[in-house]
Amino acid sequence: MRKRTLAARAFAIALGSVVLACGAAPAAVQATPEPTATIRFTPMPTATPQPVVITPTPTATPVPGPNFDELPVAANNAGDLAKQIIATESALRDPATTDKQLAWYGHLEQLTLGRLADFPEWRDAVLGELPANLRNAYAGTIDAGKQLRMLSGPIPTRLPNWRIVAPAPIDELMSYYKEAEQTFGVPWYYLASIHLVETRMGRIRGLSSAGAQGPMQFMPATWAAYGRGDINDNHDAILGAARYLKANGAPGDMQRALFNYNHSQFYVNALIDYAEVMKADPLAYRGYHGWQVYYPTKDGPILMPIGWENT
């Protein structure tokens, strides 16, 4: 609220009183009356009123909010990064945040994690500034990313023959995970972790280097044995993944089931880390859903936005 300071001016008026003295002659003698003095009133001069000057109290320049039509940018120091993470996670958990904003904040979450991967010496300072629930979620997600980086092989020499599409809505995908959980007993957060790691929630359409395909990345022979319907359909692929995991020990032995999905302990560790984050805080899935497709090149990773295609 803006305050105004008013300068009040006081005008003092001095009033003088005039005393009239009258003299009387004896009654028998007609005295010529003395001429009556003429009383003149001269008004006291008044000061010329000065205009009142109103000086508004300076107000702080409003801080602009995010521009959701531009790509997000992670902060460049530990203190600002911690504040950015807190604001981002608050928005991701706010039911009033729109789908467009959720995607933007999810992308920003991904970039903040990338910044911490680039500057691991910031980790303790940043995590120390976060509330306990966010600290645990970020620590688990950071650890998952470390496990996946252990899988990294040589930098590809050419771009893949992929097409990048928009993911299905958050609630729609969640209904598929929950249906698979109810049908096969595989907890939904493991299925969401596979979906995240394999194709960024179904954004990637195309074959892997090994020939796997679909949003849950099935090899053709495995799909023939465990799949039902369309390998490229999110619903069918998620249920196929749950069916396969169930056949390989889930939910009783998730380590074994996940290792059979991809024969790498680093892969298994990453999926478990992501799953544990979502198990403790199901709303963390809203952030993961917004993660984008970045592909490594000799000049650094490139963003493959929705609509990118190389066929």
Q: Given its phi and psi angles, is residue 178 left (phi above 0), alpha (psi -120 to 50 degrees) or beta? A: alpha
- Tokens standing for residue 118: 């680039």
173-211 residue pLDDT tens: 999 999 999 999 999 999 999 999 999 999 999 998 889
Distance CA 99, CA 287 (A): 11
Confidence of residue 22 (pLDDT cuts 50, 70, 90): very low
- The mean pLDDT value for 106-110 works out to 98
Alpha carbon 311 to chain centroid, angstroms: 34
Q: How far apart are the first and last CA of the chain?
A: 58
Across all residues in the chain, what is the average pLDDT? 85
Residue 204 sits at φ, ψ, to 5 deg, of -85, 125
Instruction: Specify the DSSP element, H or E, that contains 146.
Output: helix 132-149
3-class SS at 243? helix
* pLDDT score, position 55: 52
Distance CA 146, CA 266 (A): 9
The predicted pLDDT at position 65 comes to 80
Model confidence band, residue 133 (pLDDT cutoffs 50, 70, 90): confident
pLDDT at residue 115, as a whole number: 97
The string of pLDDT tens digits covering residues 252-302 is 999 999 999 999 999 999 999 999 999 999 999 999 999 999 999 999 999
Answer with the residue of higher pLDDT: 42 or 252.
Answer: 252
How confident is the model over 145-155, as a mean pLDDT?
A: 91
Do residues 2 and 57 lie in contact, with contact meaning Cβ atoms separated by under 8 Å? yes
Residue 249 has, within 13 A of its CA and on its CB side, a CA count of 9
User: Residue 24 pLDDT more than 60?
Assistant: no
Domains of the chain: 78-304 (1.10.530)
| pLDDT attached to residue 28 | 36
Percentage of the residues of the chain whose pLDDT score is greater than 70: 79
Q: Which whole number is the average pLDDT over 112-140?
A: 96
Provide the pairing of β-strand 4-5 with 55-56.
antiparallel
Mean pLDDT of 19-28: 33
Average pLDDT over residues 108-117: 97
> Six-digit token pair at 36?
């009556």
Choose among 259, 248, 233: nearest CA to 185: 248
Instruction: Categorize the per-residue pLDDT at 49 as very low, low, confident or very high, splitting at 50, 70 and 90.
Output: low
